[in-house]
């Protein structure tokens, strides 16, 4: 373990750079943390741990005990990405991605938050017409540890006639729905105060319970408006009128699909942060993977990881001003034309990973000490 102290109040951070472009984008996020520390006088203790392919190479397992210990004794976990082609053929327990699933399980992270914000300067990067997508700023809260992906019984078997059958079980308890609904309403209370709960209550009993419990939780948040819509209508509205949404709350499988649809509104996967919440410790990571095709080239977009740091300040440390400062710096870097290759459309300044990180730091300082 390499431990570093970055400067007031100490926040302990487990940093897991991981594989591929993970260490490159994490290095930029750490620069931003240092700038926030100096500008606002906080203290961050960073401890680095291996996960994924790097951990497999060093220790033989993708989520070593030392990493688990480091994470559960931190205030928040910042992850780069996991995944390395050389482990593609290895069995699941020895795959880098298994390390990430074990990490999420250790932290009890049952709610996944994915904002989809369209920055005006990137409007041409969206596949949708500018007049449709302009002003999109929504947050998907997806239930992460229940539903069809985890329900039992499950499996592949044969029936009495010898025909192959496959079984998955969609099961939700009242407690599972209540806890993720509260996270969505709390998030909405800090945003534009609207929750759209997405279900299929016209067909599924799980959705009928979901709708009833979400309505009960809503009574705890009288300032937040609640609407219920069916998942098929939601898929349609996301591309027809994304501005109608503030917070979308949904179960695991619907959230899996809708969050990728929403992500595409914003142009590049290199722009998308995420938070996984529920336990005492939040996990913050970019949505993208280890991008082996561009690893080591210094061209990866670090903004998703830097925006994940902003989410960490907002949701784990409740440092709202610091979070907003980072988000303003990202918006301004884009307004000034700075682009990594994934969002470059022939205009502005094409920059690499480090230069984009340096721009965000410079803009944080510029705002902190106006001329």
The residue among 107, 46, 47, 32 whose CA lies nearest residue 319 is 32
Instruction: Give min distance, CB of 290 to ligand NAD, in A.
Output: 4
Q: Which of 159, 164, 293, 321 binds ligand NAD (CB under 6 A)?
A: 293
3-state helix, strand, coil in the chain (%, to 5): 45, 20, 30
Report yes or no: 266 and 272 within 8 Å, Cβ to Cβ: yes
Cα 227–chain centre separation: 24
Instruction: Give min distance, CB of 309 to ligand NAD, in A.
Output: 14
Contact between 97 and ligand NAD (CB under 6 A)? yes
Q: Which of 259, 290, 308, 316 binds ligand NAD (CB under 6 A)?
A: 290
The residue among 8, 124, 12, 101 whose CA lies nearest residue 51 is 101
Q: Which stretch binds ligand NAD (CB under 6 A): 76-84, 220-228, 317-325, 330-338?
A: 76-84
| 219 burial type by CB count under 10 A (0-12 exposed, 13-18 middle, 19+ buried) | exposed
Q: Which stretch binds ligand NAD (CB under 6 A): 62-70, 127-135, 226-234, 286-294?
A: 286-294
Q: Which stretch binds ligand NAD (CB under 6 A): 60-68, 247-255, 293-301, 344-352?
A: 293-301
The C-alpha atoms of residue 39 and residue 354 are separated, in whole angstroms, by 20
Report yes or no: 305 and 17 within 8 Å, Cβ to Cβ: no
Strands (E), 91-172: 111-117, 137-143, 155-158, 164-167
Does the annotation mark 232 as catalytic?
yes
Contact between 300 and ligand NAD (CB under 6 A)? yes
Q: At what angle do helices 303-315 and 353-368 cross, to 10 degrees?
A: 40
Contact between 176 and ligand NAD (CB under 6 A)? no
The C-alpha atoms of residue 119 and residue 152 are separated, in whole angstroms, by 42
Contact between 81 and ligand NAD (CB under 6 A)? yes
Contact between 109 and ligand NAD (CB under 6 A)? no
Q: From the candidates 40, 149, 230, 237, which is the catalytic residue?
A: 149
Instruction: Give min distance, CB of 51 to ligand NAD, in A.
Output: 9
Contact between 306 and ligand NAD (CB under 6 A)? no
Q: Which two tokens stand for residue 320?
A: 């709202």
Site string for ligand NAD, 20-39 (x = CB under 6 A): -x---x--------------
Contacts of 362 by beta carbon, 8 Å cutoff, 6+ apart: none
Contact between 342 and ligand NAD (CB under 6 A)? yes
Site string for ligand NAD, 255-284 (x = CB under 6 A): --------------xx--------------
Determine phi and psi for 2, rounding to 5 degrees: -105, 120
The residue among 313, 277, 103, 106 whose CA lies nearest residue 184 is 277
The residue among 98 and 250 lying less far from ligand NAD, judged by its C-beta, is 98
Q: Which stretch binds ligand NAD (CB under 6 A): 136-144, 191-199, 219-227, 299-307?
A: 299-307
Contact between 112 and ligand NAD (CB under 6 A)? no
Instruction: Give min distance, CB of 21 to ligand NAD, in A.
Output: 6
Name the residues annotated as catalytic.
149, 200, 232, 256, 260
Residues that bind ligand NAD (CB under 6 A): 21, 25, 81-83, 97, 100, 269-270, 285, 288-294, 300-301, 304, 342
């Amino acid at each position: 373990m390499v431990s570093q102290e970055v400067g007031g109040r100490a926040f302990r951070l487990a940093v897991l750079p991981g594989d591929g472009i993970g260490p490159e984008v994490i290095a930029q996020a750490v620069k931003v943390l240092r700038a926030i520390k100096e500008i606002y006088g906080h203290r961050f203790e960073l401890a680095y741990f291996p996960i994924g392919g790097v951990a497999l190479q060093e220790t033989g397992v993708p989520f070593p005990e030392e990493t688990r210990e480091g994470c559960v004794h931190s205030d928040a976990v910042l992850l780069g990405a996991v995944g390395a082609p050389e482990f593609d053929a290895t069995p699941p327990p020895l795959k880098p991605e298994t390390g990430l699933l074990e990490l999420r399980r250790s932290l009890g992270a049952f709610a996944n938050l994915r904002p989809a914000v369209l920055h005006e300067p990137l409007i041409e990067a969206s596949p949708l017409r500018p007049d449709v997508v302009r002003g999109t700023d929504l947050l998907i809260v997806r239930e992460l540890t229940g539903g069809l992906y985890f329900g039992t019984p499950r499996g592949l078997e044969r029936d009495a006639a010898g025909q192959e059958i496959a079984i998955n079980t969609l099961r939700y308890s009242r407690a599972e729905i209540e806890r993720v609904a509260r996270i969505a309403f709390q998030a909405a209370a800090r945003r534009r105060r609207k929750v759209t709960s997405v279900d299929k209550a016209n067909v599924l009993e799980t959705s009928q319970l979901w709708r009833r419990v979400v309505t009960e939780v809503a009574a705890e948040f009288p300032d937040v408006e609640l609407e219920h819509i069916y998942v098929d209508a939601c898929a349609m509205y996301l591309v027809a009128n994304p501005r109608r949404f503030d917070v979308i709350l949904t179960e695991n499988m619907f959230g899996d699909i809708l969050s990728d649809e929403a992500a595409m509104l914003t142009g590049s996967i290199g722009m998308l942060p995420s938070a996984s919440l529920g336990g005492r410790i939040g996990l913050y990571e970019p949505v993208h993977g280890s991008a082996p095709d561009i690893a080591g080239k210094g061209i990866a977009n670090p903004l998703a990881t830097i925006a994940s740091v902003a989410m960490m300040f907002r949701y784990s440390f409740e440092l709202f001003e610091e979070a907003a400062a980072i988000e303003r710096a990202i918006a301004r870097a884009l307004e000034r034309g700075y682009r990594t290759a994934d969002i470059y459309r022939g205009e502005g300044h094409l920059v690499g990973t480090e230069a984009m990180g340096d721009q965000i730091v410079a803009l944080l300082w510029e705002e902190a000490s106006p001329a």
